[in-house]
Structure 1
Amino acid sequence: MSAEYDPPDDPLVILHEDADVLAVSKPSGLLSVPGKGAHLADCLLARVQAVFPMALLVHRLDRDTSGVMVFALTPHAQKFLGQQFEYRRAKKTYVARVAGVVAEDAGTVDLPLIVDWPNRPVQKVCHETGKQAVTDWAVMKRGADETRLRLMPRTGRSHQLRVHCREMGHPILGDPFYSEDVERWPRLMLHAERLRMSHPTGGPALNLRDPVPF
């Protein structure tokens, strides 16, 4: 993470609220949870708990990724929702703008990942010690020198989508870690558009959506 942290002042956008589950739109540039040090205290969790003191963390998004984040409002809901992610039952859909024109219409990247310790939080592909990471993808739209992709991760490794797109030869635009053309873009062009998962009470499934801002 860069030394300078200047999170946006966007107001809290609530996508879904009931007695057990809260879903909000995380803006790009805001940490999901506090970092080390007072200067990294501002985060989505703190902003949510200022309005919903009972809110509990379930999962995270990278600082520079925007989109749907879900929080639990009871301990039972936190455990239930957490297991949805742990056992890969939560269905996540992201939208990304990537460099270059992707030739194929769809595919799957299956490359194991591990942290690159000298350069952390950067991740790297490692077939010997990496953890399984699988991403399905499909082309949404092709431009002159970029492609809009729909990304559907089957696993939830750190920086998974960012590394997998880079390994495809099409890094996500505006990526400060994995793209060499970062200065042209105002932000990382990666957004968590949809999240589908079971509801803790056994009621209708949650189908959460946050429109793509780019």
Structure 2
Amino acid sequence: MPGYPNLALYLDEALLVVNKPAGLPTLVDGYHPDAPYLVGLLGEAYGRIWVVHRLDKDTSGVIAFARSELAHKELNTQFEQRQASKVYHALVIGQPDWDEKSIDLPLRPDGDRRHRTVIDHQMGKPAITRLRVLEGYGAFAMVEAIPLTGRTHQIRAHLAACGHPLVADRLYSRSGDTHSGSTPGTEPIQRLGLHARSLTLHHPLTDQIQSFEAPYPQDFSGALEQLRQSHKPE
């Protein structure tokens, strides 16, 4: 694909798994219909594909697509029944005072023009995210996030709720979350600090358990190297 080489992590007659770049929307943008989008580019390269799940435009990492109606039905069932497991690596603002944490806060779409997801204990749908600190860098930290449910912006909203929003997340950061080094333009990475690191599912035809890992893109790995050199992991 011109401009986006070597995205495919796995390909067969039923399944396509790719490493999505940040900045490329999964689906066509209704406000910018002529802009490139992942499904369109993959369709040109591999023929018709079926969407099973999606990643935010500014999130990088592993994403799977079906290549047949049968595979689509099987994969949809896995995601709906939470049989597929996703692991994200998140660069967050601040150093958590916990090593592991489970966030259980119901979420719903806010309905405003910013398309935020908000916590709502009355009308929200159940949402659970497991968090584990992988490395600390003083003003920032690397956190593993495993969503047990699949709400829109779930990881972003839950991290913000516990006072450690994603680096460069202008939608969910609040003034009370501001830590040293989090001023716009001074972050270690200038886009959303979220990477879909791995995906584990049953192959839609063979039922074999398969795991796929997406290497960090250059900006993400560069940010980690910068942080590790500046602050010895705690």
* TM-score over 0.5 for the pair: yes
Q: Which runs of 5+ in 2 are unaligned?
A: 175-182, 221-234
Alpha-carbon offset, residue 39 of structure 1: 3.8
Which structure is larger by alpha-carbon Rg, 1 or 2?
2
Counterpart of 2:142 in structure 1: which amino acid? R
Structure 2 Cα separation of the partners of residues 9 and 133 of structure 1: 36
Counterpart of 1:196 in structure 2: which amino acid? T
Give the aligned partner of residue 145 of structure 1. Answer: 139
Change (3 A) 1:25 1:80: same
Is 84-93 or 51-60 further displaced after alignment? Answer: 51-60
Describe the superposition over 1:125-162 as per-residue Cα deviations: whole angstroms up to 9, x where unpaired: 00010011100010100111111000000001000000
Choose which of 200, 211, 225 in structure 2 pairs with 1:196.
200
Alpha-carbon offset, residue 53 of structure 1: 1.1
Alpha-carbon offset, residue 123 of structure 1: 0.9
Task: Specify the SS of the correspondent of 2:43.
Answer: helix
1:48 aligns with 2:42: yes
4+ runs of 1 displaced by more than 3 Å? 37-41, 180-185
1:209 aligns with 2:203: no
1:102 aligns with 2:96: yes
Alpha-carbon offset, residue 38 of structure 1: 4.8
Identity %: 36
Alpha-carbon offset, residue 12 of structure 1: 4.7
Counterpart of 2:198 in structure 1: which amino acid? R
Alignment of 1:76-95 (within 5 A): 76-95=70-89
Q: Which runs of 5+ in 1 are unaligned?
A: 1-7
Choose which of 158, 161, 168 in structure 1 pairs with 2:155.
161
Structure 1 Cα separation of the partners of residues 119 and 184 of structure 2: 21
What TM-score do you get using the length of structure 2 for normalisation? 0.84
Give the aligned partner of residue 123 of structure 1. Answer: 117
Q: Is the 8 A contact 1:98 1:146 kept in 2?
A: yes
Task: Specify the SS of the correspondent of 2:39.
Answer: helix
Task: Specify the SS of the correspondent of 1:194.
Answer: strand
